Structure 1
Amino acid sequence: MNGVKVMRAAGPGLLAAALLALLPAPAHAADGEFSWSTSGVGAMDGVLSSPKSGRCYSLVGNNSPFYASNNTDRTVRSYQSSSCRGEVQSTIGPGEFGHVFKYVKFD
């Protein structure tokens, strides 16, 4: 009979744990820095340190696409819309460099 009581007491805790597992995970910051330039390799117009995953960032500068260096542990995707929605214009993996448009989001 004690075993039955233990099972009943553990039931609500297990249900709560199962429900928490279904909730979306909170956004985590990417480790490292993402930098970009409007004037080419060697110049730097801006840096994002440990950018949050899932957040849309607007890069400073007028001459998009920008040269960018992704020294984070996350992939960055660039967009032409300020909401970071629609077609992905470019993707730069961790430790890579390339061109991005004005709006970027980290996975």
Structure 2
Amino acid sequence: MNGVKVMRAAGPGLLAAALLALLPAPAQAADGDFSWSTSGVGAMDGLLSSPQSGRCYSLVGSNAPFYAANNTNRTVRSYQSSGCAGAVQSTIGPGEFGHVFKYVKFD
């Protein structure tokens, strides 16, 4: 009989824990800076400091793809379409350099 009462008392708590596990985690900021250049290696036309993961950023400049340095602790993915829609065009890991298109999102 006591076991049944314990299970009933634990039921609502287990349900609440299960529901919380389904909620999306809040966005975390990447540690570090992401910079890009529209004119090539050595120049810096823009900088994002500690960008939010999951947010789509529009890079300033008209000569995409841009040369970029990802000095954050997150992977960045670039897209040609606004809102970071469509297929991923390039990926740059933490501490790497490469080309990105006008719209980027950090994991």
TM-score, normalised on structure 2? 0.91
1:69-100 CA-partner distances (Å, limit 9, x unpaired): 00111111111111111121111011100110
Structure 2 counterpart SS, 1:9: helix
Count, aligned residues: 107
Q: Is 1:29 aligned to 2:29, yes or no?
A: yes
Q: How does 1:79-94 map to 2 (within 5 A)?
A: 79-94=79-94
1:41-89 CA-partner distances (Å, limit 9, x unpaired): 1111111111111111000111111110001111111111111111211
Unaligned runs of 5+ in 1: none
Identity among equivalent pairs (%): 90
Unaligned runs of 5+ in 2: none
Q: Is 1:18 aligned to 2:18, yes or no?
A: yes
Which residue pairs with 1:103 in the alignment? 103
Which residue pairs with 1:69 in the alignment? 69
Which residue pairs with 1:42 in the alignment? 42
TM-score, normalised on structure 1? 0.91
